[in-house]
Amino acid sequence: MKKIVLLLTAGFHGLLMIAQTPDAKISIIPQPVTMIQQAGYYQLPKHISIEAPSLPALQPVIDFLKKRITQPTGYSVSVSEKAAATSIQLVLNKTANPVIGKEGYQLRVTPKGITISANEPAGLFYGVQTLLQLLPAAIESETTVKNIAWQIPAVDITDYPRFGWRGLMFDVSRHFFTKQEVKDFIDQMARYKFNLFHWHLTDDEGWRIEIKGLPKLTTKGAMRVGKTGYFGTFSTPLPEEPLNYGGFYTQDDIKEVIQYAKDRFVNILPEVDVPGHSLAAIVAYPELSCTEGTDKYRVRSGEKIMDWHGDGTFTALVDNNLCPANEGTYTFLDKVFTEVAALFPFEYIHVGGDECAKNFWEQSTAVKALMKKEGLKSMHEVQAYFEKRVGKIISSKGKKMMGWDEILEGGLEENAAVMSWRGEKGGIEAAKMKHNVVMSPTTYAYLDYMQGDAVVEPRVYATLRLNKAYQFEPVPAGVDSKYILGGQANIWTEQIPNTRHLQYMIWPRGFAIAESVWSPKEKKNWNSFVQRVEQQFKRFDVRNIKYAPSMYDPIFTAKKAGDQLQIELATEIEGLDIYYSFDNSFPDRFYPKYTGALTPPKDAVMLKVITYRANQPIGRMIAMPLEEMYKRAGIKKQNLATDAVE
């Protein structure tokens, strides 16, 4: 009997040891260049010693690491230039390693300790990000977590970025986000090795940056009538409705955010969007418009101001363009860019240039006179004239101009860089003209698009699923890669009213973009990526960061087979089973499992589906009205009930 007890005790102890050992599979996003897992692991001691050079440039890295370890473990952390017993060693190479460059690092974990080496502090910062992903998910906690074995698998990693420009664009004009929310955004992006924060600061819906020489930009241009619903369909604000929504960043706020980003090795690209998307500026200074009556305009609240014709063309219903024929426009922009250039240390300033409706220019006598004077033959050439003058203003401030790919139309200012958003065409054209390019095509990189079916997601005019975002390749075929600075994802916030929904829209698609701009092209693997995304979900759960579970939702395809509707279901990721019902009840794994195209019963009104993995529900319960399926298949269905209770 005693022997049995001893065996049971030994077996139980073995189970405990297994439970405490780190997962055999390491899950890092973005995927490192090379990674070799060794035997064993390093156990963090209760008194952690960090050895690091005493350099001001390295202090943010040390402070970050110390805080991230201390909070969840509750362990003490000491820092010194030379420690007797070192837990974590941060090393700046005396002789630069040419393989890893300025942002790369080498990380080695053995049962005796951890060493991160790099040529520059930025590399050490990214090495720290990887180190934290090697620890259990509980390391993300902001409070002490007990009964955790803080173990790190033994590993050798050499890592460096594929591109120097790894960006996320954040639109704070359509919806205003506080300074703290902007800092939180920077924190999240830096953890996944993004290094460029594109700050979209002005648009029709609000001017968000203080310009001291032009105070009306924020006293009149920063506030609007607050409305709730689907942006773009709101009613036109009435004169008596209060301007109760909005805000702006003071120049002190801007400086604080710039320093915050710098401490996380993130550069900030400011954008002042002109000549279109300038309604907030025109409300502040109506004389900037070519059109009479703009003194009656109000900052847009989300009402319709454009007619979109479905072929990429559009007509403005109000004149939201700065007037290219008005010398006062260039005086105004000189004042704006003088202050913007003084605030932001980054080498580029983004000037927008997108979606400039020209129908009001076509009616303007001043624009017609400008065309005659300058020999301009089209409205595209009028915008090119404007962009070239703006480019000279930017150059005079010691900065370089960047704009959306529309600035190519009619000719491009020397040294201007192009951000290609309308697919890849503009970027390819600019690169062939030997201009620098950042790729951010809607096809792969617009994170404000729906990420699942429209019956589940908040309605937006297009869809971008995770697997499509993961296919992002910043260097198009046939293009000289030396002109491709890198890539970025864009987050327009018309339909994103708060920071929780912002998180939902960014993640996990932000992971896909991060890996596309950091990791070697040949290292990308969809199935591996999905497994690693799921590990990041666990970390986000600990950090209370919201994310979209859309990759677990089925994909609906409606087809017409004779007079019949056929519905095909598919899954974005492997290993999922789909269960369904047509009888308005809620399916689970004891319901029919999808094995092939479905034909709805004659009088059915609703298809409900749910996905399972290994007998556990993993997807959301989705109710798809059959009326919607008939519509998508192009079938007219008579007497289809639509008032079923779900």
What is the rounded CA–CA span in Å between residue 81 and residue 600? 71
Banded pLDDT at 599 (limits 50, 70, 90)? very high
- Rounded to two decimals, the pTM is 0.94
Q: Does the pLDDT value for residue 17 go beyond 80? A: no
Q: Does the pLDDT value for residue 245 go beyond 50? A: yes
Average pLDDT, the chain: 94
Q: Does the pLDDT value for residue 22 go beyond 60? A: no
Ordered DSSP codes for 197-233:
EEEE-EETTEE-B--TT-THHHHTTSEE----SSTTS
**Cα–Cα–Cα angle for 447, 452, 455, nearest 5°?**
125
pLDDT number for residue 86: 83
Q: Does the pLDDT value for residue 119 go beyond 90? A: yes
What is the rounded CA–CA span in Å between residue 563 and residue 561? 6
Q: Does the pLDDT value for residue 644 go beyond 70? A: no
pLDDT for 339-385, tens place per residue? 999 999 999 999 999 999 999 999 999 999 999 999 999 999 999 99
Q: What mean pLDDT comes out for the span 390-416? A: 93
pLDDT number for residue 5: 37
Q: What mean pLDDT comes out for the span 298-309? A: 95
Q: Does the pLDDT value for residue 641 go beyond 80? A: no
pLDDT number for residue 210: 98
Are 401 and 394 in contact by the 8 Å Cβ rule? The answer is yes
pLDDT number for residue 312: 83
Going by C-alpha positions, the residue among 13, 27, 196 that lies closest to residue 103 is 196
Residue 439 burial (CB count, 10 A): 32
Least confident of 66-80, 153-167, 630-644: 630-644
Q: Helix (H, G, I), strand (E, B), or coil: what is residue 56? A: helix
Q: Does the pLDDT value for residue 410 go beyond 60? A: yes
pLDDT for 491-521, tens place per residue? 999 999 999 999 999 999 999 999 999 999 9
Residue 400 burial (CB count, 10 A): 17
pLDDT number for residue 82: 87
**Cα–Cα–Cα angle for 329, 351, 370, nearest 5°?**
40
Query: 103, 120, 140, 203: which is the annotated catalytic residue?
Result: 203
pLDDT: is 361 or 413 the higher one? 361
Percent of the chain residues topping a pLDDT of 90? 91
Percent of the chain residues topping a pLDDT of 70? 95
Which residue segments constitute the domains of the chain, with CATH numbers given? 2-159 (3.30.379.10), 165-550 (3.20.20.80), 553-633 (2.60.40)
Least confident of 53-67, 70-84, 133-147, 153-167: 70-84
> Is 203 marked active-site?
yes
Q: Does the pLDDT value for residue 450 go beyond 50? A: yes
pLDDT number for residue 643: 45
List strand residue ranges (DSSP E) for 83-217, in order.
Answer: 88-92, 105-110, 113-118, 151-159, 165-171, 196-200, 202-203, 206-207
Banded pLDDT at 14 (limits 50, 70, 90)? very low
pLDDT number for residue 639: 52
**Strand 348-352 and strand 267-274: pairing?**
parallel
Q: What mean pLDDT comes out for the span 125-148? A: 97
Query: 175, 277, 350, 435: which is the annotated catalytic residue?
Result: 277
pLDDT number for residue 640: 52
pLDDT for 177-229, tens place per residue? 999 999 999 999 999 999 999 999 999 999 999 999 999 999 999 999 999 99
Q: Does the pLDDT value for residue 18 go beyond 70? A: no
pLDDT number for residue 413: 84
Q: Does the pLDDT value for residue 612 go beyond 50? A: yes
Query: 355, 381, 453, 577: which is the annotated catalytic residue?
Result: 355
Q: What mean pLDDT comes out for the span 49-67? A: 96
Cα 426 off chain centre by: 21
**Tokens representing 371?**
């065309």
pLDDT number for residue 638: 62
- For the stretch 302-307, contacts whose Cβ atoms lie closer than 8 Å and that sit 24 or more positions apart, written own/partner, are 302/205, 302/227, 302/229, 302/231, 302/232, 302/233, 302/234, 302/494, 303/232, 303/233, 303/234, 303/235, 303/236, 303/237, 304/232, 304/233, 305/204, 305/279, 306/355, 306/357
Banded pLDDT at 420 (limits 50, 70, 90)? very high
pLDDT for 281-299, tens place per residue? 999 999 999 999 999 999 9
What is the rounded CA–CA span in Å between residue 478 and residue 155? 37
Q: Helix (H, G, I), strand (E, B), or coil: what is residue 572? A: coil
What is the rounded CA–CA span in Å between residue 161 and residue 314? 39
Q: Helix (H, G, I), strand (E, B), or coil: what is residue 618? A: coil
Q: What mean pLDDT comes out for the span 68-92? A: 92
